[in-house]
Amino acid sequence: MKLVVVSAGLSVPSSTRLLGDRLAAAVGRAAEVDVQVVELRELAVEIAQNFTNGFPGRALAAAQEAVAGADGLIVVTPVFSASYSGLFKSFFDVLEPEALAGKPVLIAATGGSARHSLVLEHALRPLFAYLKAVVVPTGVYAASEDWGAEGLDGRIERAAGELAALMAGLSVGRGPRAVRADSFSAVVPFEEQLAALRPTG
Amino acid sequence: MQFGIFSVGDVTPDPTTGRTPSERERIKAMVAIALKAEEVGLDVFATGEHHNPPFVPSSPTTMLGYIAAQTEKLILSTSTTLITTNDPVKIAEDFAMLQHLADGRVDLMMGRGNTGPVYPWFGQDIREGINLAIENYALLRRLWREDVVNWEGKFRTPLQGFTSTPRPLDGVAPFVWHGSIRSPEIAEQAAYYGDGFFHNNIFWPADHTKRMVELYRARYAHYGHGTAEQAIVGLGGQVFMRRNSQDAVKEFRPYFDVAPVYGHGPSLEDFTDQTPLTVGSPEQVIEKTLKFREYAGDYQRQLFLLDHAGLPLKTVLEQLDLLGEEVVPVLRKEFAAGRPADVPEAPTHASLLAAEQNKEVVA
């Protein structure tokens, strides 16, 4: 199965990326996955240009394809101004509308203090619900102090286990739906389009 | 193959001088550009249709009728006619009228328009865009082809015993292109009717244009209008030329950098690399335009966007000189070479009339 980590961390090294890596490793212990990491920092300019041009540049297009083709996603953002970062949101703003439909997603965030931990519930979960993703019950928030405290490991393992189970379940059950619908190969015959508009009775 | 220009009709300040032309100036400039297109030997002039500033061309047939009176050969077209927010009855009448005045030198391109607020201004809803395009165009076709129309649909008041006047010139409806950047439904619509399909081929990577054109060609063959290679394809393109390519880049960059639509975005170099835009010498324009055939197949109409982003009229007229004198003659020759004999030219009033008369003789 293919697991993609989307990290919106900005510094190098970044605690956001570190959390993403730990979550991916934990999923890897629970299921057989190929992991690909999408660093949004490297795509920042192309994301901005997608807003001005209407189409993605080459690297962004490749990242979008990876995300759309993944069996599961881990998305990690730093908390900025009490929410996900603008860069994080922007990446999902320029994704094709149905790209995440039915896809298992593990939400995670990092912050300077534990006061923002509910950002997972009031910002990330509604965003991915809107995008029609299947969000795993456990989100993982890591404040600075968590990196030296007990508890983070346990939350990582639980969330990763939930994601792995969901990915395995959906991968078995999904069949053809796992292949992203392509509007070019699935054109509605014109007679059907016309018929739908004909007055009835 | 037909070559021409298409204009959006934007009123944009010239970023190098800060000066904004008046609406009158811009409208007259569009006319001057159309007349120049005929003078330098181009085949087509197409105007956009917009109902919001900073655009001026809200009334395409008024402008095209005025141009028709001052030209002899130029085909007058649109890029695009809003099939969603215009009443199809008025489109049928306006363009039939224009056909008579212009002795048949008329075709048009259907488009949906992507500006949300324009729809409610005309009593419509952008969420119904595709359905409006489908129903309105189905009615438009009948209005041109049937003398008396009884019709009922979802979006417009019913018609009982309605005759659209004047009737199309010689009983032949104008040829119709359908323009769409990214909606497979519109490629399907064009294919279903055996109409032309036009891709603006400007803002998006070539790869995307290729998929839309391939879909249209496949469906054109599916509906039995001919082989996929015989489908009627038009492409846009955007160029800025000077004899010396460095001069072109230097002169165009300030316009590119702040241009509506893609300004403040990628660099000129990235954009020319990723899209069909060419900024350079006439030879570079020829080279890049000839490559369009590699992804779109042998096609029928090539329109260039020249007058936008605040470029002064004088500069645009110089572009037209280069296009007419140095670029198009070579493109005509090169595109003709290797073109299979059974790939048709773009339909014109004369060819459609001949086909109609042929049908009668056979019958």
| Predicted confidence (pLDDT) at residue A175 exceeds the cutoff of 50 | no
For the domain spanning A2-197, the CATH number is 3.40.50.360
Enumerate the β-bridge partners of residue A40. none
User: In this predicted model, what pLDDT tens digit does every residue of B197-228 receive, in sequence order?
Assistant: 999 988 788 888 999 999 999 999 999 999 99
Identity at A82, one-letter amino acid code:
A
The pLDDT of residue A179 is above 80: no
Interface test with B, best of A58, A187, A200 (most B CBs within 10 A): A187
Structure confidence at residue B203 (pLDDT): 78
Name the 3-class secondary structure at B90.
helix
CA distance A190 to chain B (A): 6
- CB–CB of B184 and A196 under 8 A? no
pLDDT of residue B359: 87
Q: Smallest Cβ distance to B188: which of A53, A57, A187? A: A187
Q: Which residues pair with B182 in a beta bridge?
A: none
Residue A125 is classified by DSSP as: H
Is the Cβ pair B215, A187 closer than 8 Å? yes
**Interval A45-101: pLDDT, tens:** 999 999 988 889 999 999 999 999 999 999 999 999 999 999 999 999 999 989 999
Contact A187 B219 (CB under 8 A): yes
Low pLDDT (below 70) residues in chain B:
none
- Domains present along chain B, CATH in parentheses: 2-362 (3.20.20.30)
C-alpha B357/C-alpha B75 separation (Å) is 22
- Closest CA–CA distance from residue A66 to any residue of chain B (Å): 18
**CB count, 10 Å around CB of A162?**
18
Question: In 3-state terms, what secondary structure has residue B204?
Answer: coil
CB contact under 8 A, A55 and B264: no
B265 contacts in A (CB within 8 Å)? Answer: 48-49, 51-53
C-alpha span between B204 and B200 (Å, rounded): 9
Are the Cβ atoms of A189 and B185 closer than 8 angstroms? no
**Tokens read off for B123:** 């009593």
Mark yes or no for CB contact B188/A55 under 8 Å: no
Residues 6+ apart with CB under 8 A from A102: A132, A133, A134, A170, A174, A177
Chain-centroid distance, C-alpha A183: 22
Q: What is the ipTM of this complex?
A: 0.72
Share of chain A above pLDDT 90, in %: 79
Which of the residues B200, B214, B274 would you substitute to probe the A interface, choosing the one with the greatest number of A C-beta atoms within 10 Å?
Answer: B274
Tell if the CB–CB gap between B270 and A199 is shorter than 8 Å.
Answer: no
CB-closest option in A52, A188, A196 to B262: A52
Q: Which two tokens stand for residue B182?
A: 């990214």
The answer to whether A52 contacts B189, with C-beta atoms less than 8 Å apart, is no
For B116-145, write each residue's pLDDT tens digit.
Answer: 889 999 999 999 999 999 999 999 999 999
Q: Does B314 touch chain A (CB under 8 A)?
A: no
